[in-house]
């Protein structure tokens, strides 16, 4: 039986990296998943990181992570989704929605009034997010 819970990432970095690599491989991104553990630590200690996990017993089998930061141009705090993934062996109908809702709730506890969801174009996750949130802007990445 799986459960969803807020978790402290500091004891789970290897698990997040392992799952993150499966995620990158799934979407065809040819980059290694190497967490910036110092940034995770600093953001977590400052209360600016929300981490929600899907657990099978004590094993992390899915995660959703967001930063929760002051909006630089508006008087509000906004969350930015950084990653969400469920191991293929644990995917069930509506489980992704439950993980998303849990992350949103964790962000709200940290003062966020909105969340920016990021999705790779033309994926199932992009289709899901497009039904749940309004498209406000595109993000373009250019290598430097």
Q: What does the pLDDT read at residue 23?
A: 86
68 with 46: CB under 8 angstroms?
no
Question: What's the CA gap between 112 and 80, in Å, rounded?
Answer: 10
Which residues does residue 65 pair with via DSSP β-bridges, in sequence order?
Answer: 51, 83
Burial grade of 20 (CB within 10 A; 0-12, 13-18, 19 or more): buried
Chunked into runs of 10 residues, the chain (144 residues) has average pLDDT values of 94 94 84 93 96 97 97 94 94 94 97 94 90 89 88
Category of 143 on φ-ψ map: left (φ > 0), alpha (ψ -120 to 50) or beta: beta
């Amino acid at each position: 039986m799986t459960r969803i819970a807020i978790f402290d990432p500091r004891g789970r970095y290897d698990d997040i990296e392992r799952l993150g690599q499966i995620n990158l491989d799934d979407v065809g991104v040819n980059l290694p998943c190497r967490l910036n553990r110092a940034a995770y630590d600093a953001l977590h200690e400052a209360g600016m990181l929300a981490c929600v996990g899907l657990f099978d017993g004590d094993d992390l089998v899915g995660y959703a992570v967001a930063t929760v930061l002051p909006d630089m141009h508006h008087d509000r705090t906004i969350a930015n989704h950084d990653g969400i993934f469920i191991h293929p062996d644990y995917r069930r109908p509506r489980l992704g929605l439950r993980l998303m809702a849990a992350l949103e709730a964790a962000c709200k506890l940290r003062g966020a009034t909105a969340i920016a969801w990021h999705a790779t174009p033309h994926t199932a996750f992009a289709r899901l997010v497009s039904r749940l949130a309004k498209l406000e802007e595109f993000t373009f990445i250019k290598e430097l």
